[in-house]
Amino acid sequence: MDLQIHAQAGTGLSPGYHKVLVPWAVQGGLNPPVVTHAKGCHFYDAQGKRYLDLTSGYVAVSLGHGHPKVVQAIQAQAERMCWVASGYFNDVRAEYAELLSGVAPWAEGSRVHYACGGAEANDDAVKIARLVTRRPKVLTAYRSYHGGTIGASSMTGVDRWRDPFPALPGMVKFFAPYPYRSPFHAANDTEETERALDHLRRVVSHEGAGNVAAIVLEPVTGSSGLVVYPAGYLEGVRALCDAHRILLVFDEVMTGFGRTGAAFAANRLGVAPDLLSFAKGASSSYTPLGGVLVREGIARHFDTELFDVGHTHAGHVLAVAGGLAALKVYIEEGLFERAREIEGWLRQGLGELQARHRSVGDVRGLGAMFGLELVRDRASREPLVEWHHPGGSAPMKAFYGELLRRGVHAYGRYNVVIVTPPLVITKAELDEGFEALDAALTVMEVAC
């Protein structure tokens, strides 16, 4: 991802900073801000400069920084007990699982398998699907991102993985809809849905439906392009899975916990999967928490079969305590629904930027999860940066550099800028972000 944490003036850093391998970056010359504290929708560097967190970190800190109820819950749990073996029952794990099942997208209920993050959760979702179906193949979309483990990177469809490891066997890719750049040469959303579903049916047929354990999808894609699927597509995938007894898995690591205007995107969009992976917003990333919600009808399989999935830190009680407190805050403060109010602000503010800047080709999103797709030419839709371009580009570096200079944190991938503010952001704070985006787009257009 284009983190754009490049050299700034006035380093003076101790050698210890350069002993840390920074993710997703060439290490030479790095000098990002030294972040020392944070509160609400802002964080601060060692010089006291304030930054608006316009993307909730990496679409993670959905409650903003330092919510007192979550901090206090973590502190209280640390004083009582920090760890208990994952094979034992625990009151915090049980309370969280019960509360989480209450907002899950299944009337029949669900059970929770705990993990430490999104990639691990997606790995485990695939393992669960294979254990239940006894089938080897898993279908995932080309334009997708599912995490950084070897398993999750095998699921990931974009070309960002250049590591020397072989992909896991049985991982099969297909093209999902992308209305702005239709891979099916569709003229409208209806045609896009029809052609995308026909393509997926053909892939399932050629791979052998009886060989397919699961289809894994982000219900709204995240850092692989922020694509909102056209009406009818997810319903069609659900029907295809039902017809062939294939399990449908939603990767809701980014879309979960109010990000799209409901507890989960599955709730907002009205399509229920069989398994649902979660992380990031689960604890507002105050603690490393992830997991898999398993529909009760699927989970019941393991009442008589070995649930051969687990980790030393599965259900780490300190992590779960943070998640439990965060979930209570989401519910008590009505934050799942508040994203719909933020959606209106984003549509208006980003739409105004599109009207003012020739480089903004498309504005799309749902809830508090939007993307700006930047282009060189609106008529041809030529991307500002090709999707396969390694290491970003000078215009995008100028764009993110100007945002940082103006005290705004954002990130994206190639030519798509992600705008996913904390669910507690005010209209005035978001206007601050729009003003910085406006200036950064101007700087970028000059650099093109």
| Contact assessment for residue 122 and residue 113, using Cβ atoms and an 8 Å cutoff | no
Residues 54-113 have pLDDT tens digits of: 999 999 999 999 999 999 999 999 999 999 999 999 999 999 999 999 999 999 999 999
Residues 183-231 have pLDDT tens digits of: 999 999 999 999 999 999 999 999 999 999 999 999 999 988 999 999 9
- Residues 281 and 104: their CA atoms lie apart, in Å, by 15
Structure confidence at residue 288 (pLDDT): 97
Structure confidence at residue 15 (pLDDT): 80
Structure confidence at residue 389 (pLDDT): 59
Distances from the Cα of 254 to the Cα of 155, 216, 303, angstroms: 16, 14, 30
Using 50, 70 and 90 to split pLDDT, how confident is the model at 302? very high
Q: With 70 as the cut, is the pLDDT of residue 1 above it?
A: no
Write down the mean pLDDT value for the chain.
Answer: 93
- List of domains in the chain: 15-66+336-447 (3.90.1150.10), 68-332 (3.40.640.10)
Structure confidence at residue 267 (pLDDT): 98
Residues 110-158 have pLDDT tens digits of: 999 999 999 999 999 999 999 999 999 999 999 999 998 889 988 988 7
Which is more confident, 269 or 148? 269
| Contact assessment for residue 398 and residue 21, using Cβ atoms and an 8 Å cutoff | no
Using 50, 70 and 90 to split pLDDT, how confident is the model at 8? very low
Residues 239-254 have pLDDT tens digits of: 999 999 999 999 999 9
Using 50, 70 and 90 to split pLDDT, how confident is the model at 324? very high
∠ CA 244-212-180, rounded to 5° = 90
- Residues 224 and 210: their CA atoms lie apart, in Å, by 29
Structure confidence at residue 9 (pLDDT): 37
Using 50, 70 and 90 to split pLDDT, how confident is the model at 7? very low
Find, among 346, 430, 440, the residue nearest to 384 by Cα. 440
What percent of the chain is predicted at pLDDT more than 90?
A: 82
Q: With 80 as the cut, is the pLDDT of residue 448 above it?
A: no
β-bridge partners, 295: 110
Q: With 80 as the cut, is the pLDDT of residue 308 above it?
A: yes
Structure confidence at residue 3 (pLDDT): 46
Structure confidence at residue 413 (pLDDT): 85
Average pLDDT of the residues in 400-410? 95
Distances from the Cα of 176 to the Cα of 66, 232, 349, angstroms: 38, 13, 28
What's the pTM? 0.94
Using 50, 70 and 90 to split pLDDT, how confident is the model at 21? confident
| Contact assessment for residue 289 and residue 320, using Cβ atoms and an 8 Å cutoff | yes
- Residues 37 and 43: their CA atoms lie apart, in Å, by 6
Residues 28-58 have pLDDT tens digits of: 877 788 999 999 999 999 999 999 999 999 9
Structure confidence at residue 4 (pLDDT): 45
